[in-house]
């Protein structure tokens, strides 16, 4: 039986660790360390060499413990490859209607990449489950807060340059989730096999999210509740 995306798990901690350009052995060790550090959702980008094999290996070992997805998905063929490999959610860098439709048909979440307000609205209208604002650091939390004015119904996931230090600012700006790459899976640390650093960094991100949730209060809790409610869709 294939693994299913766990919305309740994601709602409790909507942090997505992004793996790009690592070997299968590195990816396995990195996700083990980050999962030990309390993170629960990860994606492997399909432009990584051997991405399908990495997703299969991760799903086999950790599929019961974490949500595993595929990123940089740009075509229906990519969707099919990712799902056949064990991915339970799909992340795109662009708004591609056929990819969103394929995800809907397979009943898997589609986290769709956008930048502009028009793209945000288009992605949501086409059926995106979550809208990934990328590259978030090009405009920062102020931009996220501004687009939420007219588009407050859309759950946004800033991705690109989200750090332990900036996470709270994005959360206050209205982010529902967070995509985290290099600040968690630092290439030099992973090349050196510094898994203790990865685990510690994961704990720092988890702690930053919890602290910002407590500081923001009802609005942050409401966003968690909205995400958790998707488990009943």
Q: Which of 56, 96, 132, 199 is catalytic?
A: 132
Question: Which residue among the candidates 43, 56, 96, 199 is catalytic per the annotation?
Answer: 43
Give the SS3 label for residue 133. strand
56 catalytic, yes or no?
no
Annotation says 43 is catalytic = yes
Report angle CA 183, 34, 218 to the nearest 5 degrees. 75
Order of strands across the sheet that contains 178-180: 156-158, 130-133, 110-114, 89-91, 67-71, 41-45, 15-19, 178-180
Beta bridge partners of 132: 113, 157
Three-state secondary structure call for residue 158? strand
Phi, psi of 15 (to 5 degrees): -110, 125
- The residues carrying an active-site annotation are 43, 132
């Amino acid at each position: 039986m294939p693994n299913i995306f766990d919305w309740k798990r994601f709602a409790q901690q909507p942090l997505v660790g992004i793996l790009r350009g690592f070997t299968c052995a590195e990816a396995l060790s990195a996700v083990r360390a980050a999962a030990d550090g309390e993170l629960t959702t990860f994606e492997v980008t399909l432009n990584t060499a051997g991405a399908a094999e990495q997703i299969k290996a991760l799903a086999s070992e950790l599929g019961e413990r974490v949500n595993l997805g595929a990123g940089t998905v740009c075509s229906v063929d990519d969707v099919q490859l990712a799902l056949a490999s064990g991915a339970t959610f799909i992340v795109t860098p662009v708004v591609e209607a056929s990819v969103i439709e394929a995800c809907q048909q397979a009943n898997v979440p589609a986290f769709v990449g956008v930048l502009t307000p028009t793209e945000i609205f288009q992605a949501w209208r086409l059926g995106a489950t979550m809208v990934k604002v990328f590259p978030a650091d090009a405009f920062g939390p102020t931009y996220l807060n501004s687009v939420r004015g007219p588009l407050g119904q859309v759950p946004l996931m800033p991705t690109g340059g989200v750090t332990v230090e900036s996470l709270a600012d994005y959360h206050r700006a209205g982010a529902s989730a967070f995509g985290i790459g290099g600040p968690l899976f630092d290439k030099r640390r992973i090349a050196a096999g510094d898994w203790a650093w990865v685990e510690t960094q994961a704990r720092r991100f988890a702690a930053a999210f919890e602290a910002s949730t407590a500081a923001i209060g009802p609005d942050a809790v409401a966003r968690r509740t909205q995400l958790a409610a998707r488990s009943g869709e």
